[in-house]
Amino acid sequence: MASITIRGLDDALKTRLRLRAARSGRSMEDEARTILRAAAADDVRSMAEPAPVARAGATPPLDAGPSGRRILLIIGGGIAAYKSLDLIRRLKERGATVRCILTAAAREFITPLSVGALSGERVFTDLFDPASELDVGHIRLARGTDLVVVAPATADLMAKMAGGHADDLATAVLLATDRRVLIAPAMNPRMWGHAATRRNLTQLAADRIAVVGPGTGEMAEPGEAGIGRMAEPLEIVAAAEALLATSPDHRVERSLRGRRLLVTSGPTQEPIDPVRYIANRSSGKQGHAIAAAAAAAGAEVILVCGPVHIPDPLGVTAVKVETAREMRDAVERALPVDCAVFAAAVADWRLAAPGREKIKKSKGAAPTLRLVENPDILAEVAHRKAKRPRLVIGFAAETEKVVAHAKDKLKRKGCDWILANDVSAETGIMGGDRNRVHLITAEGVESWPPQSKDEVARALVERIAAALKASGS
């Protein structure tokens, strides 16, 4: 075993090391070896295996989100820090895992408590946090992410980044990371225009740091206006998304890498006249979660979705449609794919002749709506001779005899698997966050326990990956 020199460490590190060594009853050298061994094992594991599931108290890798896009958000100390709270929400809505570091100055504006409540993750503030295992914690934070976002990036943080400083957790992580970094500068217009900031910006661009904003507008200081306002959260999300789309893939296990998946999601709306339509209660949550999980597993995902009130997951190509016939056309255009999952609640009927003008009330005579059947998109794709996906998966929304009806649907529609769920009002499944499904295949019926729609999505994606692999290409 190589010898370890403790002398080279600075005093703060030595104090931490002494404390750890005393707690574990080891010498300082042995303790340092233990830490290095754990870090090395961690590195090897992160190269070879899926990262372990996060445990409370440890510093887990950022791999646990529904879409699996792991974003490390560094919040600097500026009045714009309050907008970062909204940014967290927006990123999470898109299925990302968001872990946050607050600089000391940021804590003057917002609290770790609010950031933790919004992100649902432990918040990091301290370079020498004993709970983050001495100096190894910041290396893990730096590596266990797909993208680092600095918002707001103050003039001071930008100067430190340009100069390669590492005197707190935020700057140490920024220096230690090899992931793409996106900054959203926010400062007073004079600071933004200062020669030093211009110089730092040029250096950061040369270091491949991406920049979003700043915009022009009123400053927090009364009477001040000009360029320096932090970009709006949705602009930052768009910039992050663009970077993620082109960033190399850092996830270890990408079970659907190289596969192309199609997912339909949400309801369809069938017009009655220009202002009215027939629709259903589908929220799109399950379909979107499947698209997000497939993208996280490395697939190229085309999400064809009806009108929903939830955002597109990160990293998927979303095609928006309204009617069943538009959905059918978009599905046809997306082929060929390796696997197609039909989670949309497609309206079975549409009006034979929707009114060109708003249908007016006429006394005593309610209009008669003549309906015709919509194309059955799932059945059409499953029965295709050419370009049939290797795996065609449907859903069965039932309110009674769930499994029996779903088995019948599997046969009728010609799909390979069907996920049956009970959508009676009392289950709260339609529109809710949880689901209870039965997976019906040629081999039989598997009843999955009640779980979140994200969990159902991840489990399904793993089954799809295994089936495609077993089918031999």
- Active site amino acids: 280
Residues 67 and 293: beta-carbon distance below 8 Å = yes
Interface stretch with ligand CTP, choices 139-147, 200-208, 361-369, 375-383 (CB under 6 A):
375-383
Region from 30-38, 72-80, 291-299, 373-381 binding ligand CTP, contact rule CB under 6 A: 373-381
When asked if residue 348 is in the footprint of ligand CTP (CB under 6 A), the reply is yes
Is-contact 214 229, C-beta < 8 A? yes
Q: 423 to 452, contacts with ligand CTP by CB under 6 A?
A: none
Among 151, 342, 402, 461, binds ligand CTP (CB under 6 A): 342
- Within residues 287-326, the interface with ligand CTP by CB under 6 A covers 324
User: Cβ closer to ligand CTP: 132 or 264?
Assistant: 264
Rounded distance, CA 38 to CA 137, Å? 11
For residue 357, count other CB atoms closer than 10 A to its CB.
8
Question: CB-wise, 297 or 324, nearer to ligand CTP?
Answer: 324
438 phi/psi in degrees, rounded to 5:
-115, 125
Binding segment toward ligand CTP, per CB under 6 A, in 229-237, 302-310, 312-320, 372-380:
372-380
238: Cβ–Cβ under 8 A, 6 or more apart, which residues?
none
Q: Which is nearer to ligand CTP, 124 or 342 (by Cβ)?
A: 342
Binding mask 245-284 for ligand CTP (x = CB under 6 A): -------------------x--------------------
Tell whether residue 377 is a contact of ligand CTP (CB under 6 A): yes
Is residue 121 at the binding interface for ligand CTP, with CB under 6 A as the rule? no
Inter-residue contact 131 to 118 (CB < 8 Å) = no
Q: C-beta of 440: minimal distance to ligand CTP in Å?
A: 12
Angle in degrees, CA 469, 471, 473, rounded to 5: 65
Of 255, 283, 374, 435, the residue at the interface with ligand CTP (CB under 6 A) is 374
243-275 burial string, b = 16+ CB within 10 Å, else e?
A: bbeeeeebbeebbbeebbbbbbbbbbbbebeee
Out of 346, 402, 439, 465, the only residue in the binding site for ligand CTP (CB under 6 A) is 346
Cα–Cα distance measured from residue 50 to residue 255, given in angstroms and rounded to the nearest whole number: 10
- Helix 169-176 to helix 136-143 angle, to the nearest 10 degrees? 60
In sequence order, which residues have a C-beta less than 8 Å from that of residue 222 and are 6 or more positions away? none
Residues lying near ligand CTP in the complex (CB under 6 A)? 264, 324, 342, 344-346, 348, 374, 376-378, 394-397, 409
